[in-house]
Structure formats: structure tokens, C-alpha cells
Amino acid sequence: MDLRKIKKLIELVEESSIEELEVANGDESIRIVLPRERGVLQSHSAITTVAAQPATAPKAAADVSPSDAVESGHRVESPMAGTFYRASHPEAAPFVEVGQQIEAGAVLCIIESMKMMHEIRAPHSGEIVEICAHNAQPIGTGEMLFRVS
């Protein structure tokens, strides 16, 4: 893996709210772990590069709790880690509100990931039942953003 790419990954981790990042590219992988004291890489930080190691499969999802079974509506989950934004810019109105009817393909929010803005669109028509993330909140892959009936 190119040293410039590794340095860029370290910078991205330092600037974000995450403490750990693992990236696999072919037969190479890198794992960057920042200490709890954020902001500066310290000597006890772990940065490991491993060659000729196959990428591991994602871990199985946790069991569904009984409380999930009683929730109504479809979950709209984040396809990536990043920062959740309800509007296109701070002065703009949010894309959606609770109780609003939406059509399939409507923009629900924006997720900023790696300095790029990604529109998250409704997978189907319905009504916004719940907005689960807060504006400008860091979110993880698979985290529930909305519930749509």
C-alpha cells in the first residue's frame, strides 16, 4: 500500500469521530487505531499493515431484540459511516419531517463521508414515522436513520 495513502487514511481518522479504521485492498490490509485521547497519534497507537492476508467477511448481525419486533415501519439504515445531515446546508429546511408523506426515491438526508456528500434516498413510498439520528451526528454503517411506514 502506498505510503501517501496510509498518511491520508491516518489524517481522515484523526479528523473524524472514529477511533479505529480497517481497510483491505486485494491481499493487503491496514488497521489504524487512535488512542482515546484524540487529536495526536501517540507512540502506543497501533498502525498495522499486513500483506497476503485475505479480507475477512463482515461479522454476523446481532440477534433481533424483542423490542425490535414491535416497531412498526421499515428501517432506513445508513449504507456508510459518516456524518448525518438533515438538510443540504445549515440554513435550509430539513429534507423530511416526522409525519411527512414521501415518494420512493425522495432525498431523506445527506451523509458526509470522506469529504464527499452522499444523498440517501427513500427505498419506497410511505410516511416518515421516526427520525432516529440527530443533525451533524456521526453515524455508523447499518445504523438506523429513519423509520418509514
Residue 65 is assigned to a structural domain of this protein: no
The boundaries of the domain holding residue 144 are: 70-148
What parts of the chain have a pLDDT lower than 70? 1, 34-72
- Grouping H, G, I as helix, E, B as strand and the rest as coil, residue 17 is coil
At 87-96, the pLDDT tens digits run 998 899 999 9
Q: Could you tell me the three cell numbers for 144?
A: 438506523
- CATH number, domain containing residue 120: 2.40.50.100
Q: Do 44 and 96 fall into the same domain? A: no
Q: Does the model's pTM come out above 0.75?
A: no
Q: Do 46 and 77 fall into the same domain? A: no
Residue 58 is assigned to a structural domain of this protein: no
Q: Do 101 and 141 fall into the same domain? A: yes
Rg, C-alpha atoms of the chain: 18
Residue 141's φ and ψ, nearest 5 degrees, are -60, 130
Spatial distance between the Cα atoms of 147 and 49, rounded to a whole number of angstroms: 39
Q: Do 75 and 135 fall into the same domain? A: yes
Q: Do 47 and 74 fall into the same domain? A: no
